[in-house]
Amino acid sequence: MNLLGVSGSLRAASLNTALLRAAQNLAPEGVTITPFSLRDLPFFDQDLEDEGDPPAVVAWKEAIRAADGLVIACPEYNGGITGVLKNAVDWASRGKPAPLAGKLCCLFGASPGITGTVRAQDALRLSLRRAGARTEPQGDVLVGQAHLKIVDGVLTDERTIEGLRRHLAGFVEAVRG
């Protein structure tokens, strides 16, 4: 099974990208999570789209289409999702069929605050569903106080590690149907 891994943060020391790296190591046997950087995606612009998708958008859409599901590390900015992530969802909601249509998505997120991106993940679910994607049936993975649980880019908190492992296992079962 090949899953596509996406982080909604571009910064090198991102807690969410670190969580995605941890997920890559915690995926069940036989499951690969291949990371895709959103850095090169231009801002969505319908004029650009009308001229033909730019190469970075073509790559993004093809990566989604080729994947069995998406694994998304979702940071929270001002109670919502990052512009980077919303922009990526908007591009992937376009086309017939839209690349996101029918795709199952696994969400988790990390923040230094105690609520651990719950608002952003709720907002992301809404946007994904509007785009025709499906979100996983299992509960949330909300990593609050993440700066204490991710040290030098490595997830060290045992409870979070186990929670993420279970979350991924449940998601993989859902993808297998």
Ligand X SMILES: Cc1cc2nc3c(=O)[nH]c(=O)nc-3n(C[C@H](O)[C@H](O)[C@H](O)COP(=O)(O)O)c2cc1C
Residue 24 or residue 95: which is nearer to ligand X going by CB? 24
Point out which span in 11-19, 41-49, 58-66, 97-105 binds ligand X (CB under 6 A). 11-19
Count the residues of the shown chain that bind ligand X, applying the rule CB under 6 A. Answer: 14
How far is residue 97 CA from its own chain's centroid?
20
CB 94 to ligand X: min, Å: 26
| 75 binding ligand X? (CB under 6 A) | yes
> Could you tell me which of 24, 39, 112, 38 has the C-alpha nearest to residue 76?
112
Q: Does 136 bind ligand X (CB under 6 A)?
A: no
Of these, 28, 83, 113, 153, which contacts ligand X (CB under 6 A)?
Answer: 113
Write phi, then psi, for 2 (nearest 5 degrees).
-115, 120
Per the structure block, which two tokens stand in for 35? 């990371």
Task: Answer yes or no whether residue 93 interacts with ligand X by CB under 6 A.
Answer: no
Which of these segments, 52-60, 110-118, 123-131, 152-160, binds ligand X (CB under 6 A)? 110-118
Closest among 171, 172, 90, 168 to 132, alpha carbons compared: 90
Q: Is 14 in the site for ligand X (CB under 6 A)?
A: yes
Give SS3 for 148: helix
- Our CB check for ligand X shows the closer of 112 and 137 to be 112
**CA diameter of the chain:** 49
- 1: three-class secondary structure by DSSP: coil
Binding flag, residue 149, ligand X (CB under 6 A): no
134, β-bridge pairs: 104
